[in-house]
């Protein structure tokens, strides 16, 4: 499986934007970039996914580098409910998730 690298933790203030980076330098042309988040003792929740173009949905935006070797999940206005572990993963269905980024949101 192609591997992703994320910072272990990040902090944000409430109502400010958050940019969560992910490196995936060995990505192949057919690999989809998926983002999920997980609260303690809950199942992962789908956030967003994309292949080549930037993507927007009601939860977040996904910015994909032109060479596709990195991507950034953007939460436009962080709330306390956005505090979670965020996973960046390629072709999530058959892959083992890494450690993700633990996002702390300060009031």
Binding site for another protein (CB under 8 A): 31-32, 34, 36, 41-46, 49, 51, 87, 91-100
The label of the residue with tokens 């409910």 reads: 81
Which of residues 94 and 107 has its CB atom nearest to another protein in the complex?
Answer: 94
Say how far apart CA 78 and CA 11 lie, in whole Å: 10
Biggest distance spanned by C-alpha atoms of the chain: 40
Which of residues 15 and 45 has its CB atom nearest to another protein in the complex?
Answer: 45
The label of the residue with tokens 């009031």 reads: 107
Smallest separation (angstroms) from another protein to the CB of 36: 8
Smallest separation (angstroms) from another protein to the CB of 32: 4
Three-state SS at 82: helix
Say how far apart CA 107 and CA 100 lie, in whole Å: 22
Smallest separation (angstroms) from another protein to the CB of 14: 26
Which of residues 59 and 63 has its CB atom nearest to another protein in the complex?
Answer: 59
């Amino acid at each position: 499986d192609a591997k992703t690298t994320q910072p272990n933790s990040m902090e944000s203030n409430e109502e400010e934007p958050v940019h969560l980076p992910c490196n995936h330098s060995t990505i192949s042309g057919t690999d989809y970039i998926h983002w999920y988040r997980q609260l303690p003792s809950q199942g992962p929740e789908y956030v967003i996914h994309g292949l080549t173009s930037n993507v927007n949905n009601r939860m977040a935006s996904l910015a994909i580098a032109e060479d596709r070797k990195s991507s950034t999940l953007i939460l436009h206005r962080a709330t306390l409910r956005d505090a979670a572990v965020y996973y960046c993963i390629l072709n999530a269905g058959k892959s083992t998730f890494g450690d993700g980024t633990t996002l702390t949101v300060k009031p």
